[in-house]
Amino acid sequence: MALQVEIQRAEKLAAHQASQIYEAFGESLRVPLTRLLGWGRAAGADFVEFFLERRAELNMAVENGQVRSISPSLSVGVGVRVFRGHQDGFVSSNDVSWDGLRRSLEQALSMLGLVLPRGGRWVPDVALEPLRDYAVLREKEGWRAQMPSIGEICKHLLSVEAAITKEVKYRQFSGINALQDWQEVLVASSDGIFARDIRLHQTAAANALCVDGAHRAQVAEREGNFGHPRFLLDLDREVIATALAERAGHLLYADFVQAGEYPVVMANAFGGVIFHEACGHLLETTQVEKKTTPFWDKKGQAIANEALTAWDEGLSEGLFGSLDMDDEGMPGQRTLLIEDGVLRNFLADRLGSQKTGHPRTGSGRRQDHSFAAASRMRNTYIGPGSHTPEEVIASVDHGLYCKKLGGGSVGATGDFNFGVAEAWLIEGGKITRPVKGATLIGTAAGIMPKISMCADDIGTAPGFCGSVSGRVYVTVGQPHLRVEQITVGGR
């Protein structure tokens, strides 16, 4: 009964919040925005941009057979950015009325020493393109109506957690954290951009702690999706429970790895987080403009082994980092980062392009309206090679197989260390026994030339990325690959 009351309370709160929002963004905002953009240009700004956002978010947590929390939230706001030369001013506000938009523009201009034109002066409006409405073009308007109720999600998450409880031996704790994030955005800027989009991201992370005397193992599994309204009801409880049970069974009694220098085979999918963190960030113009990346002047030069080709794109259907347009209104596209080891392109937003001269790549992203956009990754992955996974593993006589990576840290110049959530020894070209406590330590510039073999089984995995413009949804990926040698921390 208490759970039902909590679900009803959360559903009423979510419905009340939604009722406070006026009509969808679109043509109704054309006239006020063209006027405000014209005023901003007349004040002396080289460029003016409005980013409007509505957001409905739901966070839920299930632990040990109970729903622990249900947190619906809704926000509305605008981010206003003005450029003058290479300087910019940015202001955000939750007031999207005419007076609120005008006040935000005035404040952003004042950061650059500019003021709105005085009353009575004629100012030409900015001509905006016909509304580029990806919500309509991609049939996203109906997503909210198709999303399941809070009660339906709770019921299914409880069934998933019950399957974990049944399947995982020596389980002391298990839980699932789920997120549902619906977002509507509208971008209008003084270069004529007028574009609208709807995004829907959902993810669920299941975890379990197993204890048998002095032996402990903590395991986790995450799934994520873009654009599928009923994704949280499609979570396969048997697949999730089996994956956690197998991993916990392998790790609970595993020996600790011996520290040293090893050749390493990294598994596909989430193994790509090292490339994302250790190299991908170094290819964003936020680093290039400061010359804090070792690759800032290496375009057209070899920075990796010729076996490696890498991409960043926002076009793949369903992947966590996909987007029809970035947060500056630029259509999504595919960017070749590295080709046969040679650096081909950087990731650039508008300001990054101005400061570095590298072309924009549809990579201007932000967490929400309270952040200015910056160059950020989307779906970033190492491309497939010509080997099979079995050939890659068989090429190593004595080394480490990193089946699943955990958390880690990366320095500004690419120094990294990553925990390995599930590792196995490779002996005589075969995977033999599990080990735990392994940490991969290295640098981006050091590891890239050592990736000498790539398999043909590329896989992807969802994740979150934090940087100067907040936390955004991304996908990481790669095939199985061999690193000739890397420092492994252990005992």
Which residues are registered as beta bridge partners of 399? 426
Q: pLDDT grade, residue 14 (50/70/90)? A: low
pLDDT at position 277 is 87
CATH number of the domain at 238, please: 3.30.2290.10
Q: pLDDT grade, residue 121 (50/70/90)? A: confident
Helices (H), 169-274: 237-251, 273-274
How many structural domains are present in the chain?
2
**180 and 262: one domain?**
no
**277 and 369: one domain?**
yes
**262 and 220: one domain?**
no
CA dihedral for 232, 152, 472, 419, sign (positive or negative):
negative
**345 and 444: one domain?**
yes
**269 and 316: one domain?**
yes
E-only strand ranges, 112-190: 132-133, 171-189
**469 and 485: one domain?**
yes
pTM of the model: 0.93
Q: Which two tokens stand for residue 163?
A: 């399957």
**240 and 319: one domain?**
no
Q: What are the tens digits of pLDDT across the range 359-388?
A: 999 999 999 999 999 999 999 999 999 999
Of the residues 217, 233, 251, the one at which a domain ends: 251
- Percentage of the chain beyond pLDDT 70 is 95
Reply yes or no on whether the pLDDT at 19 is more than 60.
Answer: no
Reply yes or no on whether the pLDDT at 13 is more than 80.
Answer: no
Residues 6+ apart with CB under 8 A from 484: 263, 450, 451, 452
Residue-number span of the structural domain to which 484 is assigned: 256-489
Q: What are the tens digits of pLDDT across the range 165-188?
A: 999 999 999 999 999 999 999 999
Of the residues 201, 221, 251, the one at which a domain ends: 251
Reply yes or no on whether the pLDDT at 247 is more than 50.
Answer: yes
Of the residues 202, 223, 251, the one at which a domain ends: 251
**33 and 57: one domain?**
yes
Q: pLDDT grade, residue 123 (50/70/90)? A: confident
**55 and 99: one domain?**
yes
**334 and 483: one domain?**
yes
**58 and 118: one domain?**
yes
Q: pLDDT grade, residue 469 (50/70/90)? A: very high
**230 and 217: one domain?**
yes
Query: Residue 333 — φ and ψ, nearest 5°?
Result: -155, 175
Reply yes or no on whether the pLDDT at 243 is more than 70.
Answer: yes
Helices (H), 421-475: 444-447
